[in-house]
Structure 1
Amino acid sequence: MLQVPFIRENKETTIAGLKRRNFPQAEAIVEQVLDIDQQRRDTQKELDNVLARSNAKAKEIGALMKSGQKEAAEAAKTETADLKFISKGLEDDLKAIEQQLQDVLVTIPNLPHSSVPEGRSAEDNEVVLTHGDVPTLPADAQPHWELIKKYDIIDFELGVKITGAGFPVYKGKGARLQRALINFFLDEALAAGYFEIQPPIVINEESGFGTGQLPDKEGQMYYVKEEKLYLIPTAEVPITNLYRDVIVSEDQLPIKNVGYTPCFRREAGSWGAHVRGLNRLHQFDKVEVVQIRKPEESYQALEEMSLHVQSLLKKLELPYRVLRLCGGDMGFTSALTFDMEVYSAAQQRWLEVSSVSNFETYQANRLKLRYKTEGKTQLLHTLNGSALALPRILASILENNQTPEGIRIPAVLVPYCGFDTIS
């Protein structure tokens, strides 16, 4: 969430940033924030004056009583009662104004970093680099949704029987390969200095608000009505919320956590060939890395996270590219996002497998996540990234490594899964 003092002191910068995100009525909403903030400040000033007069009058009553001026003291008591009545009204007004200000602020996305390109959609994203050669497949190569039937390793029909569309059942070598990927990703993160967390996979409303999923993404999350809990869309949410309402000691920084969880997304309105098979699911597995850094270190950390994800893709022998997302394609809370995409030779298109993002102070302001330095309390920067999401990685491994003898397993995974071929 943006901070009001920043908006007040950087009005034109805020408007320009929102326009780069193609946010509608950027000027109008900034003016609305400033108007409400002025009401808040005026009301606070008036309340402070009334409280000061009330305190002074209370002291005056004591002096009058001591000097025997009971009639004057009674008059002062009446005036004090009137001031208390006025102050109560002003306190109620102030709470209402503050809530109104909060309701507007939560509808405003984060401002983009200066390096974010202009644009409205994925077509306007900037390709930063491309790595690896696209494999040449045999003429009879098949997409993964055919391969999984051929080798009987993932069953979508059983998933529909048990739950519904988008909930696959992993079987035999498919299940073992899935588990191998999870353990590989976790081990690589631990080797890179991350601390493993196994968080809950359901969250309360406060946690959803803290990282920006609420009130922005209710429609994409599964909701447990009786307990008022949400199934997590990513491990970022519970892991980052470990530090909600926390003042971190400077010697605890940087914080680097990694966690594996199943993830749940309704993906309402997602239809068509581009979401076939493993390309988009309602339940999927993901290993997530989260960092909490000092503001001056966060963009160095973002580069570090990007390189970590790229190292995983290299070890999996997958061709990939890195995209810098444009203003119109970034997530609501992000200041800068890099997407990693792998090339699916059978589908002949790029598939997104990871996003790494710097949220700067946007989440930290909601979370009240701070640290003390030189006697001052400051907001920290939060970052997160997929390292990695499994479905499209698995799809690309199956498609890019298909041979007449079967599907070749990348060498780095063989010790984890115990076989080198699916046949």
Structure 2
Amino acid sequence: MLQVNYIRENKEKVLERLAIRNFDKPELIDLIISIDSSRRKVQTDLDALAAIANASAKEIGDLMRTGQKEAAEVKKAETTRNKQSIQELGLELEKLEKELFDLVVQLPNLPHHLVKAGTSAEDNEIVKVVGSPSNLAAEALPHWELAAKYDLIDFELGVKITGAGFPVYKGKGARLQRALINYFLDQATAAGYKEMQVPHMVNEASGFGTGQLPDKEGQMYHAQVDNLYLIPTAEVPVTNLYRDEIIKEENLPVKNTAYTPCFRREAGSYGAHVRGLNRLHQFDKVELVQIVHPEKSYEVLEDMSNYVQGLLENLGLHFRVLRLCGGDMGFTSAMTYDMEVWSGAQQRWLEVSSVSNFETFQSNRLKLRFKGKEGKAQLAHTLNGSALALPRIVASLLENYQTPEGIVIPEVLRPYTGFDIIN
């Protein structure tokens, strides 16, 4: 959530940056500034009346002690009228604060100055391409056919149990899935991240804190009786561990990792681009979350992006790195890198990770601050990244490592799988 004082003091800059996102409600900024002006005036009047009330209470006490009961009664009547005015102003302030809050939460984060304007994924900036496509035979199969051929994943069984988008992993398919989770967690902890096990459901305050609510409530599974939400990513519970906390500056950066299943209601269109593992309602992911000093956050963003790229290189996958344009970037992000792996059998790029810097957008919602040596509390910066999301990694491994003899397992995974090939 943007800070109101920043909006007020930097109106033109805010409008300029929001335009990069194709934000089409500039009148909202004027309304926010207007309501904030009214709110501040009411607050000033309320503070003045409260000061008068405090002084009157002392004066009444002095009059009573000196026997001036008649004067004291007159003062009490004035105080009663003053209290009524304080109550009315308090209600007006509460109303204005709610109006202001309801407007500010509609504003997305301001994109970083390196983020380019654009309307869709077609306008994303290609930052880097690593490796080259696998030399697959013309008859190479897509992963959903490979999964059936080697009895690794059963999509129809998932439909029977739950519905579309909930696959059942079997035999070596399940073992490969577990191997990837353990490999990614081991790599993260070796890189200094603390492993966490967190709830897979969160309350409304947690969803608001990281920006899923009220923006993405339609994409989240909601247990209405308990008013709890199934997590779309471990980012939500892990970041919310620090909601309403003040961290000592010397304890920054905070680096956490967690494996969780992820649940998303997002409806996909039909066709090959959403077949198999390409888009699911439940999938596994290892997440990285960092809380850092504002001066370090873009350095950390590059480090996190490079870390994820290292995982992809270790797996021997051909990938590219994109800096998302304003029109394709998430609501809460100030800058996002996407990592996409080349699917040899499908002949297209598959997103496998997003790494984002949210600056103070989440921490303002979370009231997540740090206190420096001078003793002043200020908002921290938060970042997160997928390291990695498993479905499309599994799809890419199956497709790109297929041979006439079977599917070869990348060397780094063999200690985890216990086998070298799927045949």
Query: Do these two structures clear the TM 0.5 threshold for a shared fold by scoring above it?
Result: yes
What's the offset of the Cα at 1:142? 0.6
- 8 Å contact from structure 1 (residues 20, 119) kept in 2: yes
- 8 Å contact from structure 1 (residues 289, 386) kept in 2: yes
Letter aligned with residue 338 of structure 1? Y
Q: Counterpart in 1 of 2:182?
A: 183
Q: Counterpart in 2 of 1:331?
A: 330
Whole-angstrom CA distance in 2 between matches of 1:183 and 1:35:
53
- 8 Å contact from structure 2 (residues 268, 279) kept in 1: no
Identity %: 67
Q: Counterpart in 1 of 2:390?
A: 390
- What are the Cα deviations for residues 142-177 of structure 1, in whole angstroms up to 9, with x where unaligned? 100111111111000110111000000000000000
What do you get for the CA RMSD once the two structures are aligned?
0.8
What's the offset of the Cα at 1:36? 0.8
Matches within 5 A, 1:54-65: 54-65=53-64
What's the offset of the Cα at 1:77? 0.4
Matches within 5 A, 1:7-406: 7-25=7-25, 27-373=26-372, 374-406=374-406
* TM-score, L = length of structure 1: 0.99
Whole-angstrom CA distance in 1 between matches of 2:193 and 2:48:
52
What's the offset of the Cα at 1:269? 4.7
Letter aligned with residue 119 of structure 1? G
- What are the Cα deviations for residues 333-388 of structure 1, in whole angstroms up to 9, with x where unaligned? 00000000000010000000000000000000000000111121110000000000
- 8 Å contact from structure 1 (residues 2, 362) kept in 2: yes
Whole-angstrom CA distance in 2 between matches of 1:136 and 1:321:
18
Letter aligned with residue 388 of structure 1? L
Letter aligned with residue 191 of structure 1? A
What's the offset of the Cα at 1:390? 0.2
What's the offset of the Cα at 1:133? 1.0
User: Any gaps of 5 or more consecutive residues in structure 2?
Assistant: none
- What are the Cα deviations for residues 268-305 of structure 1, in whole angstroms up to 9, with x where unaligned? 25433211100000000000000000000011110110
Whole-angstrom CA distance in 2 between matches of 1:272 and 1:324:
27
Whole-angstrom CA distance in 2 between matches of 1:164 and 1:40:
50
Number of equivalent positions = 422
Whole-angstrom CA distance in 2 between matches of 1:164 and 1:62:
73
Q: State the SS of the aligned residue for 1:216.
A: coil
Whole-angstrom CA distance in 2 between matches of 1:62 and 1:170:
78
User: Any gaps of 5 or more consecutive residues in structure 1?
Assistant: none
Whole-angstrom CA distance in 1 between matches of 2:162 and 2:179:
25
Greater CA drift, 53-62 or 282-291: 53-62
- 8 Å contact from structure 1 (residues 316, 412) kept in 2: yes
Letter aligned with residue 6 of structure 2? F
- What are the Cα deviations for residues 192-247 of structure 1, in whole angstroms up to 9, with x where unaligned? 11000010000000000000000000000000011100000000000000000000
Q: State the SS of the aligned residue for 1:359.
A: strand
Letter aligned with residue 312 of structure 1? L
- 8 Å contact from structure 2 (residues 50, 86) kept in 1: yes
Whole-angstrom CA distance in 2 between matches of 1:402 and 1:230:
39
- 8 Å contact from structure 1 (residues 288, 387) kept in 2: yes
Letter aligned with residue 341 of structure 2? V
- Give 4+ residue runs of structure 1 displaced > 4 Å after superposition: none
Letter aligned with residue 111 of structure 2? P
Letter aligned with residue 405 of structure 2? E
Q: State the SS of the aligned residue for 2:255.
A: strand
- 8 Å contact from structure 1 (residues 286, 386) kept in 2: yes
Whole-angstrom CA distance in 2 between matches of 1:180 and 1:65:
81
Whole-angstrom CA distance in 1 between matches of 2:141 and 2:370:
53
